Structure 1
Amino acid sequence: MRRKKKLKKPVASFIILTNIIFWPLFCVVGAVKLLGYPTWLFDTVRCLSAWSSTFAFAILFPRIYPGQRFIHFVKQKFKNKLSLSVIVLIVMIQTAIFIMILFHIMNNYEETSIFTLSSWGMLSFYFVKTLLSGPLGEELGWRGFALLELQKKYSPLIASIIIGFWWGMWHLPIWLTTGFMGMDLIKYSFFFMLTIIATTIIMTVFYTINQNLIIPIIIHQLFNFFIGSINGNLIDLIMYNAILYSAVAVLLILINPKKVLYKIQSAK
């Protein structure tokens, strides 16, 4: 059988196809919500839409890496031994950010509860739902492929900014369903993009140190889980996260600029 022709612009093709798959699925999510279908169906379709990047990467894989097997590629992304110190540091940083935001909300919140989750059962369910409808479906394509592919040409910082920007723009349909308009939508979009890019830089630093896809999955999961578990004004929450995650990103660059500012020789 003739080998398929290799794509000239694999990352661009990946980003385009990811959006082509995501938009129709997101419209289905909206239709399921508007028509009042059961919650489980809404959650299922929403979860599928979050996996659009994985679907796109799987479809393009034969033309991105001709002759390789998709399953083997995926296994390689998880084969390296996880560093306990890296995981502990990630958890400590994100928990500290969560606590700082929590205390700020507590001092300015007038409602009966600052949490969206009221029981251990709800907490566990939300944790699993968040994992399935975000980190597990997104990281293989965005970090496991696109980020590392760009690092063959650009420095980790530039690659992070590029992927962070397009990863953020992929969320555009979600912005339009927040109910924000005018200046509120502009503020939300700006802080959202700042948070996404800063988070991508943090992922890149720790993923470079410990090249196992579990690392960006953990960072992504903790971000989504923590921000979703706090009640409060969404614009304020995303603004606080933008400021604090950006501060961490800058600090990581200053501490070890070689991990971020300079092009690595090979990205596997």
Structure 2
Amino acid sequence: MNREKKLKNPIASFILLTNIIFLPLFFLVGATRMLGFPAWVFDVMHCISAWSSTFAFAALFKKIYPGQRFIQFVKDKFKNKLKFSVILTVSMIQAFIFLIIMFLVSNNSEADSIFTISSWGMLIYFFLKNLLSGPLGEEIGWRGFALMELQKKNSPLKTSIIIGFWWGMWHLPIWFTTGYVGIDLIKYILFFMISILSTTIIMTAFYNLNQNLIIPITIHQFFNFFIGIIKGNLIDLIMYSAIFYFAAAVLIIIINPKKVLYGKEDTNSINEKHSMIP
């Protein structure tokens, strides 16, 4: 019998350590920009800083799950077979939102192009850079651990709101590098938090339907990637995202497919699966 002492408040410890690790890395990212380092150095540091949640989870892992191996834990998050219907549904939802936002921005834009990227090479580079930072760097900790751990004692919907809030607050230092002040900064923060809370609810619903970390990674990737390639006012882009992702989240809450958001039976079965890890 394993008698290693477990961490009493793993979620709180994870969130705290994630922020402690992120702040110095974030300042290093800013330093590379201010000191005039090449763009690729900035991109590398930016990607590394996004992995702060994974670094925090790895550092705490032995105290959270005594006797288990971190690498095996991560592998298990990808072992379930992907359901084509789930991947197709999340892709269609986000593609639809992207097309609506693109249409709205194009009607309000006087620029020759509504896209920030003009070549396939740069598009592929941006896609991979985005994937290596946010989606891959953040989802192991926030969704692979925190979301599933918190669902052991709370409904998926309540868990989504809690995790979504703290995930959003983790971005706080970034808010003050946007250049916005006053009412513009308030609007940016408000729309950002609505977007991230709504996206978290969508992630939870579809992750619980498939139990493969590829699902939240895909949702995260499409969210960042689609916003990044549209040329337009950032506040407008975040506002449109907040509106349409919120609408999608509300629709999913109402439909509640297979009771994955607040159904007692399904919540308990999810908790049992994650409490019986060998």
TM-score where L is the length of structure 1 = 0.98
Match of 1:30 in 2: 30
Residue matched to 2:218: 218
Q: Does 1:260 align with 2:261?
A: yes
- Name 1:136's counterpart in structure 2: 136
Determine helix, strand or coil for the equivalent of 2:8. Answer: coil
- Give 5+ residue unaligned stretches, structure 1: none
Kept in 2, the 8 Å contact 1:97–1:244? The answer is yes
Q: Deviations for 1:230-251, whole angstroms, at most 9, x for unmatched residues?
A: 0111111001000100100110
Q: Extract structure 1 runs of 4+ deviating beyond 4 A.
A: none
Q: 1:122-162: per-residue Cα shift (whole Å, max 9, x none)?
A: 11110000000110010000000000111011100100000
* Cα distance between partner residues in 2 of 1:178 and 1:33: 14
**Residues 1:123 and 2:123 are matched in the alignment:** yes
Deviation digits for residues 140-185 of structure 1 (CA, Å, limit 9, x no counterpart): 0000000011101110010000000000000001101000001100
| CA RMSD of superposed structures (Å) | 1.1
- Which residue identity is paired with 1:120? W
> In 2, Cα distance between the equivalents of 1:261 and 1:191?
25
Matches for 1:1-268 after TM superposition, within 5 Å? 4-256=4-256, 258-263=259-264, 264-265=267-268, 266-267=270-271, 268=274
- What secondary structure, in the 3-state scheme, does the structure 2 residue paired with 1:134 have? helix
Question: In structure 2, what residue type is equivalent to 1:14?
Answer: F
Deviation at 1:34, TM superposition (A): 0.3
Report the Cα offset of residue 262 of structure 1.
3.4
Q: Distance in 2 between the 1:193 and 1:241 partners? A: 11
Number of aligned residue pairs: 267
Tell me if structure 2 keeps the 8 A contact 1:47–1:132.
Answer: yes
Q: Percent of pairs identical after alignment?
A: 69
What are the Cα deviations for residues 53-86 of structure 1, in whole angstroms up to 9, with x where unaligned?
0000000000000000111101110000000111
Q: Deviations over 1:101-141 (max 9, x none)?
A: 00001100012221001011111110000000110010000
**Alignment partners' CA distance in 2, 1:80 and 1:32:** 40
Q: What secondary structure sits across from 1:133 in the alignment?
A: helix
Letter in 1 for 2:262: L
Q: Which sections of structure 2, spanning at least 5 residues, go unmatched?
A: none
Aligned equivalents of 2:239 and 2:150: distance in 1?
28
Q: Using the alignment, how far apart are the partners of 2:245 and 2:119 within structure 1?
A: 28
* Structure 1 CA distance for aligned equivalents of residues 3 and 188 of structure 2: 46
Is the CA contact 1:253–1:259 (under 8 Å) kept in the aligned structure 2? Answer: no
Distance in 1 (CA, whole Å) between partners of 2:124 and 2:41 is 19
Q: Which amino acid aligns with 1:151?
A: Q
